[in-house]
């Protein structure tokens, strides 16, 4: 039961942290050509954003794991360590919120940490 609850939490934490590192370039080095032209109607952009959101929420667990592993290949060791720490903290926070005992919280955090390390290829 704990694993079923903590695995999605760990995946969400990993995806969130992994997504943070995609755009590390300073704003000055970003070319001005990437700005959308003013002639593009805003109504055309909104359905595309909605479609992207729908695709992201209909992802299967296997697809999510593959996406995380693909993102992990581009992560630095520090980013991976931060992801592991965030997954452990998320598991501890979730356990505290559910009123688990200290031993159960520790077990959940260990499982989340081990699962995250395995997913990122750190073991």
- Is residue 34 scored above 50 in pLDDT? no
Dihedral-angle region of residue 4 (phi above 0 means left; psi in -120 to 50 means alpha; beta otherwise): alpha
- 83 closest CA partner among 8, 3, 18: 18
Among the residue ranges 11-15, 65-69, 89-93, the one predicted with the least confidence is: 11-15
Distance CA(108)–CA(105), nearest Å, equals: 5
pLDDT at residue number 45 = 44
Q: pLDDT tens across 39-75, in order?
A: 444 444 444 444 444 455 688 888 888 888 888 888 8
Distance CA(52)–CA(67), nearest Å, equals: 15
pLDDT at residue number 58 = 83
Residues 18, 79 contacting (CB under 8 angstroms): yes
Residue 85: phi, psi to the nearest 5?
-65, -40
- Is residue 31 scored above 70 in pLDDT? no
- Is residue 100 scored above 50 in pLDDT? yes
pLDDT band of residue 123 (cuts 50, 70, 90) is: confident
Q: What is the mean pLDDT of residues 90-107?
A: 93
Distance CA(6)–CA(27), nearest Å, equals: 36
pLDDT at residue number 11 = 63
């Amino acid at each position: 039961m704990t694993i079923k609850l903590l695995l999605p939490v760990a995946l969400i934490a990993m995806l969130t942290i992994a997504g943070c590192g995609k755009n590390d370039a300073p704003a000055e080095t970003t070319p001005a050509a990437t700005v959308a032209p003013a002639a593009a109607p805003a109504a055309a952009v909104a359905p595309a954003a909605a479609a992207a959101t729908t695709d992201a929420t209909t992802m299967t667990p296997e697809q999510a794991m593959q996406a995380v592993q693909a993102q992990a290949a581009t992560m630095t060791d520090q980013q991976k360590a931060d992801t592991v720490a965030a997954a452990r903290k998320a598991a501890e926070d979730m356990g505290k919120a559910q009123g688990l005992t200290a031993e159960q919280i520790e077990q959940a955090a260990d499982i989340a940490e081990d699962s995250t390390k395995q997913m990122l290829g750190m073991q």
